[in-house]
């Protein structure tokens, strides 16, 4: 694992930390590759929930501008494609990923958070897509994931103005789910991850897949996806265990089988 991306585990819960605090955790190809490698390691370990956060006072303050300044169009395309590929990998994992936004989440940092299943933020967090201040646009999925999170009109305002918003405003518009005092952020997110990790992992994976895929489908087709996934759960040992445990009034012991 690269030293710019740290991955730790406590039982089935992983914590991925972007570790460039001297650069406010700015994203460059090494960081993005490190995230991709960490996701592969999580799959191998059977991770049931992953928390993504940043070292120091930032979540991720953006993409590395020094690395981008002299890029030619084809180099910029390659960099954007890498960012999109990692975002897609995050969305495609069978386990949920929660962003714990501890500080600045701007540009690529906001995009990284939106590639997570959902986000919680510190009261000190600042979020935004300020790329137009540099005469470019979001390049890691920001224009598309943002409108799906907050609606087209709000996404346009945030992208066109490049303004930063605080955590409470981000919660109001649906960009983050909840806001915590700085010292309470990781305990709160860890508690959520522990709750998720106790559920049937194959059911969680199916729910994640159907929600992601169905969001861009017409309702009848999306509902058909749900029916298929629901039926598929009944092929699993976890479904038998979960329903038996409910009827026997005991805690279920899910194996992911």
**Tokens 């059977």 -> residue:** 46
Which segments of the chain are extended strands (E)? Answer: 5-10, 13-18, 49-54, 58-60, 97-101, 104-106, 118-122, 126-128, 165-166, 178-180
How far is the CA of 244 from the CAs of 93, 129, 147, 251, 252, in angstroms?
Answer: 28, 48, 42, 10, 8
- Return the DSSP state at 130: -
Taking a C-beta distance cutoff of 8 angstroms, is the pair 14, 8 a contact? yes
| Calpha distance 240→242 (Å, rounded) | 6
Catalytic residue check, 91: no
Q: Is 131 a catalytic residue?
A: yes
Q: Identify the active-site residue in 41, 111, 169, 235.
A: 111
Reported for 144-151, long-range contacts at CB under 8 A and 24+ positions apart, including other chains, are 145/87, 145/111, 145/114, 145/115, 146/110, 146/114, 146/175, 148/215, 149/114, 149/174, 149/175, 150/174, 150/175
Catalytic member of 10, 41, 44, 131: 131
Distance CA 213, CA 207 (A): 10
Residues contacting residue 179 through CB under 8 Å, at least 6 positions apart? 120, 121, 122, 123, 125, 167, 168, 170, 171
Catalytically active residues are: 111, 131
């Amino acid at each position: 694992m690269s030293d710019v991306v740290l991955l730790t585990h406590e039982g089935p819960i992983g914590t991925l930390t972007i570790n460039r605090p001297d650069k406010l955790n700015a994203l460059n190809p090494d960081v993005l590759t490190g995230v991709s490698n960490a996701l592969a390691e999580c799959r191998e370990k059977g991770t049931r929930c992953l928390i993504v956060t940043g070292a120091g006072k930032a979540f991720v303050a953006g993409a590395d501008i020094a690395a981008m300044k002299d890029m030619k169009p084809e180099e910029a395309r390659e960099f954007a494609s890498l960012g999109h590929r990692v975002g897609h990998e995050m969305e495609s994992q069978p386990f949920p990923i929660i962003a714990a936004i501890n500080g600045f989440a701007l540009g690529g940092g906001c995009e990284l958070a939106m590639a997570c299943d959902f986000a919680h933020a510190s009261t000190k967090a600042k979020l935004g897509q300020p790329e137009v201040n540099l005469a470019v646009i979001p390049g890691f999925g920001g224009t598309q994931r943002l409108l799906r999170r907050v609606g087209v009109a709000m996404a346009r305002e945030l992208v066109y103005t490049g303004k930063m918003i605080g955590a409470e405003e981000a919660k109001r518009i649906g960009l983050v789910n909840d806001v915590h005092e700085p010292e309470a952020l990781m305990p709160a997110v860890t508690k959520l991850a522990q709750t998720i990790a106790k559920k049937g992992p194959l059911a969680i994976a199916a729910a994640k897949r159907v929600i992601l895929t169905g969001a861009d489908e017409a309702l009848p087709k999306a509902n058909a996806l749900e029916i298929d996934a629901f039926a598929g759960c009944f092929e699993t040992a976890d479904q038998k265990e979960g329903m038996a445990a409910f009827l026997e009034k005991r805690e279920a012991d899910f194996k992911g089988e």
